[in-house]
Amino acid sequence: MKIGFIGLGNMGIPMALQLVRAGHEVYGKNRSLGKEEAFVANGGKAASSYTQLAQEMDVVITCLPMPADVEQVYLGVGGLLEAARAGLTIVDCSTVAPELSKVLFDASLKAEVQFLDAPVSGGTTGAASGTLTIMVGGVEETYNQVLPILQAMGKQIHYVGEAGCGSAVKLINQLMVGIHTQATSEALSLAEQFGLDQEQVFQILNLSFAQSKIMERHYSQFIAEQNYEPGFAIRLLSKDLNLAIEAANAKGVHTVMGSRVKALLQRAISEGHGDHDMAGMYVYQQERDQRRREHGELKHFAVFLPMLDPEKSVTYREEHLAFLSERRQAGMLLANGRFVDGAGGLVIYRAGSQEEVEQWVKQDPYIIHQARSYEIHEWDIVLADE
């Protein structure tokens, strides 16, 4: 069978090579020519364009890092669906929102193309060994037709429902991956502060109720080796957690732990850890703990922004909100809002000192353009029971 594979990254290239080993004629396409050359050197073939794949292949598989990449490859000018021949089957192994998978399914129907969302779990190790877990959404008849191809890449293949369901299961998986990653980081950091032998603690936990595949992966492959070259980078886990939390919010599910981990991931990225493997959250945990031991806990500060100029407030509102969004993404902002009577707004920051907060406030477009003044007060938060 002739198979096209778009996205020869850390996950994609070993998945595509599993298809080559299974005897398929596989054509790879990647933004980086170096990846294509490596694929060809190991038995694959290089595709000239998305158009070639869309017109000449029996099946095209995509495995791309970001939702925007998926949209461009499928729906952009010169993309797969623009050039696809009727009867083509496309399988997306990327991690995206279920809503995007449904959009691609509907667009594929209009192009007379069969589409499955089939995200994978198991990391680069599972991709290299052909033991991935694959969760598939779409038309079951299409799933049955491509099952032998999926079985060349994974060992646990699950049809989970209509279009978007595969992506939904993957986001649930990633929500737990993020939480387990943080649990591992905190547990092993605590073991170190007790002066315990980490290897021994790991062996005990790995045979106890605390055991998880994430802990085993992170410790054995990364923490014990003190090597954080990415198999799956923190920035990608952060992207997945963002999608998972958005999906949960849309369904009315309050993800207390997931939201906290999401903020920690974003702050780790802002402090330079984004390209480290997700196991590197252990290193970030240690850095944060050390700062707390040296400088104390982070405090909360309420910044009141009294109205000075209503017209300027309207003019610079979008810039102000974009500024706050950046602070939120970096984990520096707890909440923000405005008073309905027009008196101004309130922003609650997390920081080590009032001086640090004032530096941020002075960068706010509202303050720069004198739309608002500001008052900073340390904030004592008392959380009510859920």
Active centre residues (catalytic)? 170
Phi then psi for 327, rounded to 5 degrees?
-65, -35
Q: Give the separation between CA 79 and CA 54, rounded to whole angstroms.
A: 9
Q: Is residue 133 a contact partner of residue 112, using CB atoms and an 8 Å limit? A: no
At 217 the three-state DSSP class reads helix
Query: Would the CA dihedral through 207, 211, 213, 215 be positive or negative?
Result: negative
Nearest to 126 by CA among 173, 194, 89: 173
Nearest to 349 by CA among 293, 310, 287, 305: 305
Q: Give the separation between CA 21 and CA 14, rounded to whole angstroms.
A: 10
Q: Give the separation between CA 297 and CA 266, rounded to whole angstroms.
A: 19
Query: Would the CA dihedral through 348, 351, 354, 359 be positive or negative?
Result: negative
Nearest to 11 by CA among 233, 281, 273: 233
| Number of alpha helices (DSSP H) and beta strands (DSSP E) in the chain | 18, 13
Q: Give the separation between CA 97 and CA 350, rounded to whole angstroms.
A: 30
Query: Tokens standing for 239?
Result: 């992207």
Q: Give the separation between CA 184 and CA 217, rounded to whole angstroms.
A: 10
In the chain, the largest separation of any two C-alpha atoms, in whole Å, equals 71
At 205 the three-state DSSP class reads helix
What burial letters (b/e) apply to 122-138, b meaning 16+ CB within 10 Å?
Answer: bbbebbbebebbbbbbb
Query: Tokens standing for 252?
Result: 């009315």
